[in-house]
Structure 1
Amino acid sequence: MFEQVIANHPFFIGMGEYNVNLIAEHCTNVDFKSGEFIFKNDTPAQQFYIIQHGKVALEVAGAKTGSVIIQTLRDGDILGWSWLFAPYRWHFDARSVEQTIALSIDGRWLREYCELDHDLGYIVMNRVAQLTIQRLQATRLQLLDLYGKSSERR
């Protein structure tokens, strides 16, 4: 049922038909209402998502600044990378900005499967690392917007 979505998504291209079909067996459809939290910072991270339709804000809560949107994800974007790295807890809040339909993938299963298939594990680790870099760059840009350049603060 989900094979076509997985096979055509850039994150999964090149993972082979067998792996795509296996991953598709560990997917479910999920639907989030506008304003609903998909996950919260420091809660267990055991899955990740392909956003099919909608918008999701990645947020960081600060004591002085309140909630700051780091990045807004849209159709086709991958949401979540914390399922792959110990201690397997979310590092941001994710909130649906509008009704959002996504494909939820069992990250815990995929992490365990990658331990058995190191070739696939390398591909997954590489692609998740790219997502992580994108999120960290977005965070850096938001911090620059919030606090300005270091020379301006003096």
Structure 2
Amino acid sequence: MTSTTNVSAGLTAEHREQLMRVAREVSFDAGTRLFEEGRRADRFWIVRTGTVVLDMRVPGRRAAVVETLGHGELVGWSWHFAPYVWHLGAEAMSPVRAYEFDAEAVRALCARDPEFGCAVASWVGRVVADRLHASRARLLDLYAPYGGGSPV
């Protein structure tokens, strides 16, 4: 878990409080699908306990796990960017307790308070950048010749 994906590292105390005012506590049993790739992204979560995997569909095969998320991490960023469609799927790998947020309500808060909106956009952007960087590193580990050195 990188610190910038953790909500406490991504928002000031004031902005965290603002966000938490619209949170609701939810629980998921192991094996519960939180969302499916290609469907409408209308909410997001911050994990309190448990583990959630992000996955992507692979034609003719089981979904490929892209990342594993745990305590304090943001699950879902597609809600923040039009057209608000999930780019991946997500499943609870263990019992999960989380804070759930209605995306439309959070976007409305962002529109009403530009400072809050900027903070949320920066936080979500860092999460996306961290996950892109982690994915790139995994791809290099898998496919780069001899551990990713320069081509011969």
1:61 aligns with 2:57: yes
Equivalent position amino acid for 1:30 in 2 = V
Identify the residue that residue 131 of structure 1 maps to in structure 2. 127
Structure 1 Cα separation of the partners of residues 25 and 139 of structure 2: 34
Contact in 2 for aligned 1:70/1:142 (Cα 8 Å): no
The separation in 2 between residues aligned to 1:87 and 1:64, in whole angstroms, is: 27
Within the candidate set 77, 83, 86, 1:81 is matched to: 77
When normalised by structure 1's length, the TM-score is 0.80
- Which of 131-140 and 96-105 deviates more? 131-140
Structure 2 distance, partners of 1:138, 1:62, is 20
The match for 2:103 among 102, 107, 114 is 107
Aligned residues: 143
Q: Which fold has the larger relative contact order, with Cα–Cα distance below 8 Å and residues 6 or more apart in sequence? A: 2
Counterparts of 2:72 and 2:53, CA distance in 1:
14
Distance 1:142 1:35 in 2: 25
- Give 1:83 shift: 0.8
Question: Alpha-carbon deviation of 1:99?
Answer: 0.6
Matched to 2:78, the amino acid is: S
CA RMSD of aligned residues (A): 2.6
| In 1: Cα distance, 2:105 partner to 2:52 partner | 24
| Structure 1 partner of 2:8 | 9
Instruction: Provide Cα deviations, 1:71-97, integer angstroms capped at 9, x if missing partner.
Output: 100111111111110001111111111
Which segments of 5 or more consecutive residues in structure 1 lack a partner in the other structure?
1-7
- Gaps of at least 5 residues in structure 2 are 1-6
Residues 34-54 of structure 1: per-residue CA shift (max 9 Å, x gap): 111111111111211110000
Q: Percent identity?
A: 29
What is the distance in 2 between the residues matched to 1:64 and 1:139?
A: 22
